Amino acid sequence: MIKPHGSDRLDPRFVYDTERHHALSREAESLPSLLLNSAAAANAVMLGAGYFNPLAGYMNKADALSVAATLHTTGGLFWPVPVVNLTSDAAAIRGAKRIALRDPNVPGNPVLAVQTVEAIEEFSEAEITTMAEQIFRTLDPKHPGVSTFTGLGRIVVSGPVEVLNFSYFQQDFPDTFRTAVEIRNEIAERGWQKVVAFQTRNPMHRAHEELCKMAKEAVGADGILIHMLLGKLKAGDIPAHVRDAAIRKMVELYFPANTVMITGYGFDMLYAGPREAVLHAVFRQNCGCTHLIVGRDHAGVGSYYGAFDAQTIFDEQVPAGALAIQIFRADNTAYSKKLHRVVMMRDAPDHAQEDFVQPSGTKVREMLAAGQDLPIEFARPEVARILMAYYQEEAKQ
């Protein structure tokens, strides 16, 4: 199986040893506490699950600045996005060597992890601004990633973590949330050698379904990992439980048996376009995948990124050998009225726009809310019915 990023073996930061887990839980009761923001909590979950291998914890100021500027830590590890614990108030933990990190997303704010504090430092306003521009390629406050990142605080608390639970993800998505360790184990159990990963924060329409099948065939993969984001999204995005149900129905009815793993991961969407595409590649490699589908405007939002910037970053900013995972470069996919099948648009140069079935997102939402069937060429009817029920319920509120 493909090696994890940066090491020969996966080293998740979750504490699996029962005795150590109990000891940390007891210790946490007497430690100074820091209530995390959702972004820092999601980073802890990803560290615990092994997705952020080989990182042992949160980056310090120098590493965060270096990663934002060069995609490398000060020690030379290739990494695309700072993994930080930012806060606006560190008064309660000043001078502490170990602290309890509390979960903002679970009632009662239980302890999510215990952190050994290596440094408590502060970014200047200019440094936060520079990092935001380097990560997101914009400082527009309307960009959801920019507004989130610049509002997390200026104080960075660095050091290794020992993670005690996976926040709300295991409880809310017991059939879907999986750690990188669990995904690797299942890939091994299935005997898969080549695995192509598909990232999604949306329901999958007909073109996404066919894209996964195209990619599997093109790279000769044994199976497909459909890997959905389960964390926080921007307003207007479809909730994870609705996406989960829709994707499961699609796979049940329209994929050959035992060719797809449906899983999810506990992270908040960054909407960082090219940088986030590279991060997706890093943690899919840690899952054991050999290929990642990178499509048009991958991890983008609005019109902040060029259509294929998330592909060209792998040529321009990812050094040779930095990642073992390979990229399957996809174009926009849509149903061709001429060919009576889904194609990648680049493979149909003789087509005009009207030769494709490609309703706008706004039109799709309006039709679903009104109880109107979507074109069968665009969405499987069983999937559309799940989405229709959601949008009709939303329309009532």
Tens-digit pLDDT profile for the chain (397 aa)? 899 999 999 999 999 999 999 999 999 999 999 999 999 999 999 999 999 999 999 999 999 999 999 999 999 999 999 999 999 999 999 999 999 999 999 999 999 999 999 999 999 999 999 999 999 999 999 999 999 999 999 999 999 999 999 999 999 999 999 999 999 999 999 999 999 999 999 899 999 999 999 999 999 999 999 999 999 988 888 899 999 999 999 999 999 999 999 999 999 999 999 999 999 999 999 999 999 999 999 999 999 999 999 999 999 999 999 999 999 999 988 999 999 999 998 999 999 999 999 887 788 888 988 999 999 999 999 999 999 999 998 877 7
CA distance 30 to 39: 25
Tokens found for residue 289: 């995948």
Superfamily holding 18-170: Sulfate adenylyltransferase (3.10.400.10)
Q: How far is CA 215 from CA 18, 212, 230, 310, 326, in A?
A: 41, 5, 24, 17, 12
CA distance 326 to 150: 32
CA distance 141 to 148: 9
Give pLDDT, residue 38: 98
CA distance 70 to 83: 14
Task: Give me the count of residues in the chain.
Answer: 397
Indicate the class that CATH gives domain 174-396: alpha beta
What DSSP string describes 29-53?
Answer: TTS-EEE--HHHHHHHHHHHTTTTT
Q: State residue 38 phi and psi, 5-degree precision.
A: -65, -35
DSSP designation for 239: P
Give pLDDT, residue 365: 86
For the chain, give every residue range classified as CATH 3.40.50.620.
Answer: 174-396
- Cite the active site residues: 201-202
CA distance 350 to 338: 10
CA distance 4 to 285: 6
Between helix 361-369 and helix 381-396 the angle, nearest 10°, is 70
Instruction: Please state whether beta strands 223-229 and 195-200 pair in parallel, antiparallel, or not at all (unpaired).
Output: parallel
For the chain, give every residue range classified as CATH 3.10.400.10.
Answer: 18-170
DSSP designation for 347: G
Give pLDDT, residue 251: 97
Give pLDDT, residue 54: 98
Identify residue 360 by its one-letter amino acid code.
S
Sorted by sequence, the CB contacts under 8 Å of residue 132 that are 6+ apart come out as 139, 146, 149, 150
